[in-house]
Structure 1
Amino acid sequence: MTAPVRIDGVSHRFEAFEALRDIRLDIAAGEYVTLLGPSGCGKTTLLSVLGGFVDPTEGRVLIGGRDVTRLAPARRPTTTVFQDYALFPHMTLRDNVGFGLRMAGQGRRVRHARAHEMLALVGLETAADKRPHALSGGQRQRVALARALAVDPEVLLLDEPLGALDLALRRSMQDELKTIQRKIGTTFIHVTHDQEEAMAIADRIVVMNRGRIEDEGPPARIYRAPRSLFAAAFMGETNRVPARATGTALETPFGTLPHRGPAGEATLCLRPEAIGPAPGGLALGPARVRDAAFFGTHCRVHVLPDAAPGLTLIAHLPPGELPAPGDLLHLNAATDPLTVFAME
């Protein structure tokens, strides 16, 4: 089963602190959405509102067109996967996965059959008689996912489920989550502060900051053409170049670019991978290497451009040759798309 979700003007306050401010968001049935943002931005509070663990101060939550705002968690068509797994250590994996069905009054044969089906879905069909302590962190997270899916929720809520895993396991589980979601078609809403994780798994990313939505859209659009300076900075490294807009052009320390927009002080954002030796775009001119590090797929280099004293740029250069501190490079920046924000 799956269902759309509507968050209609949700706000929430913890005494004087406003954790959520007029959140409005429609999530399609079967969509994989990530709520992304720094600690304290409101993403976990919003997930708690969706799960029924927190009552919003204002607004409504609708699932499948039904107002569930004041329903208890057990009465909602949602289940939640937590970062700490929350498995029962004394139970077998079969009984852990079937626990929700047991609470719903399902008979032993039915819940065992469903538990085996869900364990097979997450690749643990031969481990039904094991207990959680015999599993790795990634395997325990798979069991938690199987348990949440066993009750056939319309919406699955994931609260930083991969945060406790190492990098290799985290990437493996990202792939598995995406594959499982596509297979079963359930609406997934996933909280994370990891930008790479959000881009790897989501159909749509919702960037949050200070209790409100800064930007939302497909990962590629959010990364390449963010709608706010905060979203641009949070969605990975970016170089902020001071500029001035004239209405028809953008004046930068490196030259002038055509640009239509309000006149005034502005910031041009350039991703590190947009900067390199290839010709075209905006000529940055000679730049002295401050330091460089090899990252496998690229060299991450800090450079000091002659044209902008005091400005340090980050460039991701080809991995073939690591430049040395003091080397002089001649660099250009791709400016498609041109990402410019007016200074407030």
Structure 2
Amino acid sequence: MNAPTIEHDPFSRAVARSAELEVQIAATPERFRVLTGDRPTGPLHLGHYFGTLANRVRLQQAGVDVLVLVADYQVITDRDVAEDLQRAVTGLVLDQLAAGLDPERTTIFCHSAVPALNQLLLPFLSLVSVPELQRNPTVKAETEATGDRAMSGLMLTYPVHQAADILFCGANLVPVGRDQLPHLELTRTIARRFTQRYGPVFGEPDALLGDAPLLLGTDGTKMAKSRGNAIALRADEDTTARLVRRAVTDTERTITYEPGRRPEVASLVLLGALCRGQSPEAFADEIGAGGAAALKAALTEAVNERLRPMRARRAELAADPGLVRDVLRRGDERANGLAEATLGRVRDAMGMRY
């Protein structure tokens, strides 16, 4: 069977479209609005920084209108209780600000503070079927992971909630990885079906595919907050050194960058290279026959050097107890204005003005 052409391969089309969008962003950034966000479930780590945070800062600096959602409602999609949410939200916002997001140019807001956004979930749910939701990759993965534990209705409808997050503000760009493309495609489907049923209110947002590197955790598995295998942006230098020392490597003395053959070593090399702003091959060549000990020493130095200004900035920000509250108040105010205007247009289109 012949390989699919770019016209018939959704991922290839998304890559090509993203390249076009990057050119347009460089020329006319004011045409674009980005929606992105995080669940406040723990400290942001280096995987988040190189995967999403640095890109958000880049788009902000380019002049794109960036909205960052603190998805506090989504904390309870896969857990019974949102523990110490106040502290988690505060920490998340501080991490974002320390990384370079500027609340004067980027809108940071919370799910739970924007009622009109969440109200969009009701008409949107009428536009999708249960089988469509069950086929969503995130929902399917959660179904397999829950075992005997029943999935919550919030988890099942998570993809629709995400569509409301994107469409409420008229975002026309959503930075995603390849595994998140189905989420965005459902959002586009909901926008299209709403137009077909009620008239034009929503545009169909584009995916902005990044080249985020695949960084493994220090144990050689997927980097995750819950696994204790990630270096938090806010961690001190001693904690960073301790985490790197226990990182999984292999028995070969010469350090090389071979992701396919030596994934654990390659991930450490890549992380060091990213922190220094050089190629992974160059970083590996500098260590040469120094072995795992030299690799870990170089990586610790590179990480701490990269994060030192960010950590100092975070400490300064955290010293102002009212800062995060003020950032969220201003962000929530703008998000509410956008959401209420959108909900008003939805009610008009649906004939629900009485």
Flag whether TM exceeds 0.5 (same fold): no
Give the alignment's TM-score, normalised by structure 2. 0.26
Higher relative contact order (CA 8 A, sep 6+): 2
Larger radius of gyration: 1
Structure number having the greater helix percentage: 2
Give the alignment's TM-score, normalised by structure 1. 0.27
